[in-house]
C-alpha cells in the first residue's frame, strides 16, 4: 500500500493515508465474483439489490455477512484465495472483525439509517475501500456527500445518519473492514487529521446519547458490545438505570418472578402491565394458558395492576440472567407446531415461549398506533424476550420461540434483531390446514381480525360470508413468504409435518446446533404421542382430505414449490 498525506476536515468522515492498487484489487474481486453472494440482511434499510460476500465472518463461512457475533471472527476459505486482500489486511495492525465485499446495483437505494455504536469514539469503526465505483453514486453521511474513488481508504462515523443512492450504470463494490480501536489506529487517525479534543468534548457533553448506547449495546450481548460498554462506563458519570422523571415516579422495579404481559401506548410513552409467575416453567400448550394459571396466584390478587415504563422494562431486562434464543419456530397453523413446542417443553433444559400475546401486541402496535417507532419497539421486543427467558435453574440452556402463524410477515423485523438465530418453518398440506379450521376456526381465519397492513389482504366486510376464501388468501401469503425467505436466507430450515416427530426433532437439532440427550429425547417423543392441546388424550392424525376446488390450485402449487425447496 502507498501512503499519501491528507488533512481531514472533521471527525465525521475522512480519507486515510493509503492508496491501494486498483488492478490488484480487481484481480481478487474477480475470484470472489465467481462465488455465490448473499443478499444483505437489513432488508428494511434498502430497496433494489444490495449483496455481499465475507472474507472474515463469525462462522468462518463466506455466505455469512452478519456483522455481530458472541464469539471471535475468523477468516473464510475465500480469503485464502485472495493474495492482495490478505496483504492489505496484514498491513492493518488492529483487531479485525468482519471483512466483506458489498455490492450495490444501479438503481438501488440504501435508506438513511444509523448503526449505533459504529464510530471511532465508541471503539468500533468501519473502513471502506472502493474497488469499482460510479460518479453517480451518492454516499451521504450526516448530510454530506463523500467523493470516494477506487483504491482509496475512507473512514466514516456510521452511528450518524447515512444513506446511498446509486443513479449510475456500474455495479458499485467496496471492500468493507470492521475493526477495534487501539494505539496503532489512534496514531493512524491522528495522521489523517482526527481531532481527539473534539472527540473528548463530545464525550463530555453527549451523556444522553451514551446512556442510550449502553442500553442498546447491553441488548446485543456480544464481546464487542461489552468492550464498548466498559469503555463508556469507564468515563464515569453514567447512572444508566431508570433515571428519567417518569421512571422515578413509576415506583420500584418488579422483583424476579414477575413478567410483562400487556402494553399500552400512553402520552408519556409505552407502559407495561406485569404479572407474577414465580418459578413456574412454561409447560402449557399456549402462553395465554400459562397466564391464566398465574392469575390465580396470591401476588396477582394482591397487586393486580403493576405497571412500569419502557425505561424500567429495559432496566429490568439488563439485570436478568437469561437464555439467548436457540431458534424461532414459524408455522402455517394447524401443522403440528403446538405438538412440537409441547415436546420441546417436556425437556427441562428447554424454555419454550409459545405464541406470547405481548410479543404479538408489540409487533402489531405500529399498525394500530402511528406514533410508535422502531426506536421504542425494538428495545422493548428484545427486553421482553430476555425477561421471559429468565434462567430459572441450571439445566436451562435452550430457548425456543414459537410465533403466531402471521408473524412470518414480521420476518424482516425479527431477522434484523436476531441475525444469527435459526428460523424453522413448519408446514403441511394446505387442505389439511383448512379442514382443521372448518372444525374449529382460529383467530387468524376471521377477516378483519388481523390488520390489512400486516397480512397484505385488503379488508372486505363481505369476507365474513366466505371464511374458507379468506383463509386461502392468508395461507397463500404465508406460503409465499416461506418460499421467498428460504430462497435467500441461509439460516432457515423447512419441516414438513408429515415427516413424523422423530424426524422433526432431528431437524431441530440440526437447525439449533444442539444435541438432545437420550433421556430428554425419549421424554419429548413420549409427549408427542398425546394431543398437543389436550395432553391427557392420545393423538390421532386425521386422514388427508382432498378439497377439489379451483381456488385451491394456486395454494397447492405454492405448497408443492415449498416442499421441493425442502428436498
Q: 174-203 pLDDT, tens per residue?
A: 999 999 999 999 999 998 889 888 777 655
Q: For residues 523 and 518, what is the distance between their CA atoms, to the nearest angstrom?
A: 9
Is the pTM for the entire model greater than 0.75?
Answer: no
Q: Which residue has the higher pLDDT, 553 or 212?
A: 553
pLDDT for the residue 444: 83
φ/ψ of 238, rounded to 5, equals -110, 110
Q: In this structure, what is the dihedral angle of CA atoms 229, 232, 234, 239, given to the nearest 10 degrees? A: -90
> Cβ–Cβ contacts within 10 Å for residue 561, how many?
13
Instruction: Name the grid cell of 168.
Output: 449510475
Residue showing cell 439460516? 491
Q: What's the mean pLDDT in 376-382?
A: 90
Mean pLDDT (the chain, rounded): 83
Query: Three cell numbers at 564?
Result: 421441493
CA pair distance 553, 380, nearest whole angstrom: 41
> Distance between CA 207 and CA 203 in Å, rounded?
7
The answer to whether 351 touches 282, Cβ cutoff 8 Å, is: yes
| Residue 434, all three cell numbers | 383448512
Give pLDDT, residue 184. 94
pLDDT 10s digits, 85-108? 999 999 999 999 999 999 999 999
Place 71 in a pLDDT band, splitting at 50, 70 and 90. Answer: low
User: What are the Cα distances from residue 446, in Å, to 117, 171, 392, 449, 466?
Assistant: 44, 46, 38, 6, 9
What are the phi and psi torsion angles at 538 (to 5°)? Answer: -65, 140
**Distance, CA of 309 to CA of 269 (rounded, Å):** 8
Cβ atoms of residues 539 and 529 within 8 Å: yes
- Strand, helix or coil for residue 423: strand
With helix as H, strand as E and coil as C, how does 32-51 read? Answer: HHCCCCEECCCHHHEECCEE
DSSP classification of residue 532? S
Phi, psi (rounded to 5 degrees) for 449: -70, -40
Segment 314-337, tens digit of pLDDT: 989 988 999 999 999 999 998 778
Q: Name, of 66-80, 455-469, 518-532, the range with top average pLDDT.
A: 66-80
Torsion of CA 130, 135, 139, 141, to 10 degrees: 100
Amino acid at each position: 500500500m502507498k501512503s499519501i498525506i491528507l488533512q481531514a476536515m472533521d471527525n465525521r468522515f475522512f480519507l486515510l493515508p493509503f492508496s491501494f492498487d486498483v488492478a490488484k484489487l480487481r484481480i481478487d474481486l474477480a475470484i470472489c465474483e465467481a462465488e455465490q453472494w448473499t443478499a444483505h440482511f437489513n432488508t428494511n434499510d434498502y430497496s433494489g439489490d444490495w449483496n455481499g460476500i465475507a472474507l472474515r465472518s463469525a462462522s468462518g463461512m463466506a455466505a455469512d455477512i452478519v456483522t455481530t457475533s458472541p464469539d471471535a471472527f475468523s477468516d473464510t476459505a475465500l480469503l485464502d484465495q485472495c493474495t492482495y486482500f490478505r496483504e492489505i489486511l496484514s498491513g492493518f495492525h488492529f483487531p479485525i472483525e468482519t471483512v466483506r465485499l458489498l455490492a450495490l446495483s444501479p438503481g438501488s437505494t440504501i435508506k438513511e439509517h444509523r448503526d449505533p455504536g459504529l464510530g471511532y469514539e465508541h471503539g468500533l469503526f468501519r473502513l471502506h475501500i472502493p474497488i469499482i465505483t460510479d460518479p453517480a453514486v451518492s454516499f451521504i453521511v450526516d448530510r454530506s456527500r463523500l467523493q470516494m474513488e477506487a483504491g482509496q481508504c475512507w473512514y466514516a462515523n456510521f452511528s450518524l445518519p447515512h444513506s446511498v443512492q446509486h443513479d449510475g450504470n456500474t455495479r458499485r463494490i467496496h471492500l468493507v473492514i470492521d475493526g477495534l480501536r487501539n494505539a496503532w489506529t489512534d496514531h493512524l487517525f491522528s495522521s489523517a487529521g482526527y481531532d481527539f479534543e473534539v472527540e473528548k468534548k463530545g464525550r463530555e457533553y453527549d451523556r444522553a446519547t451514551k446512556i442510550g448506547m449502553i442500553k442498546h449495546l447491553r441488548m446485543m450481548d456480544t464481546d464487542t458490545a461489552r468492550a464498548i460498554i466498559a469503555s463508556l462506563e469507564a468515563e464515569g458519570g453514567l447512572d444508566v438505570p431508570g433515571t428519567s422523571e417518569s421512571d422515578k415516579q413509576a415506583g420500584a422495579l418488579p422483583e424476579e418472578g414477575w413478567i410483562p404481559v400487556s402494553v399500552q401506548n400512553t402520552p408519556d410513552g409505552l407502559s407495561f402491565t406485569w404479572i407474577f409467575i414465580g418459578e413456574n416453567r412454561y409447560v402449557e400448550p399456549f402462553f395465554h394458558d400459562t397466564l391464566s394459571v398465574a392469575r390465580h396466584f396470591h401476588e396477582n390478587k394482591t397487586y393486580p395492576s403493576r405497571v412500569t415504563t419502557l425505561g424500567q422494562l429495559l432496566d429490568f431486562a439488563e439485570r436478568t440472567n437469561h437464555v439467548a434464543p436457540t431458534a424461532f419456530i414459524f408455522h402455517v397453523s394447524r401443522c403440528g407446531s403446538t405438538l412440537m413446542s409441547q415436546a420441546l417443553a417436556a425437556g427441562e433444559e428447554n424454555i419454550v415461549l409459545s405464541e406470547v400475546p405481548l410479543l404479538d401486541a408489540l409487533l402489531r402496535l405500529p399498525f394500530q398506533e402511528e406514533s410508535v417507532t422502531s426506536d421504542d419497539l425494538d428495545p422493548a421486543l428484545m427486553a421482553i424476550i430476555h425477561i421471559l427467558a429468565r434462567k430459572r435453574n441450571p439445566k436451562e440452556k435452550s430457548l425456543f420461540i414459537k410465533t403466531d402463524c402471521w408473524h412470518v410477515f414480521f420476518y424482516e423485523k425479527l431477522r434484523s434483531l436476531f441475525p444469527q438465530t435459526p428460523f424453522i418453518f413448519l408446514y403441511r398440506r394446505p387442505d389439511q390446514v383448512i379442514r382443521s379450521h372448518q372444525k374449529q376456526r382460529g383467530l387468524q381465519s376471521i377477516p378483519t381480525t388481523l390488520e390489512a397492513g400486516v397480512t397484505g389482504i385488503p379488508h372486505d366486510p363481505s369476507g365474513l360470508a366466505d371464511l374458507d376464501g379468506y383463509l386461502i388468501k392468508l395461507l397463500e401469503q404465508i406460503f409465499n413468504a416461506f418460499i421467498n425467505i428460504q430462497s435467500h436466507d441461509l439460516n432457515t430450515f423447512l419441516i414438513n409435518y408429515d415427516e413424523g416427530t422423530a424426524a422433526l426433532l432431528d431437524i431441530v437439532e440440526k437447525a439449533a446446533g444442539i444435541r438432545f440427550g437420550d433421556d430428554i429425547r425419549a421424554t419429548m417423543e413420549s409427549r408427542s404421542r398425546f394431543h398437543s392441546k389436550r395432553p391427557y388424550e392420545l393423538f390421532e392424525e386425521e386422514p388427508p382430505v382432498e378439497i377439489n376446488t379451483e381456488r385451491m390450485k394456486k395454494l397447492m402449487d405454492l405448497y408443492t414449490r415449498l416442499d421441493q425447496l425442502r428436498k
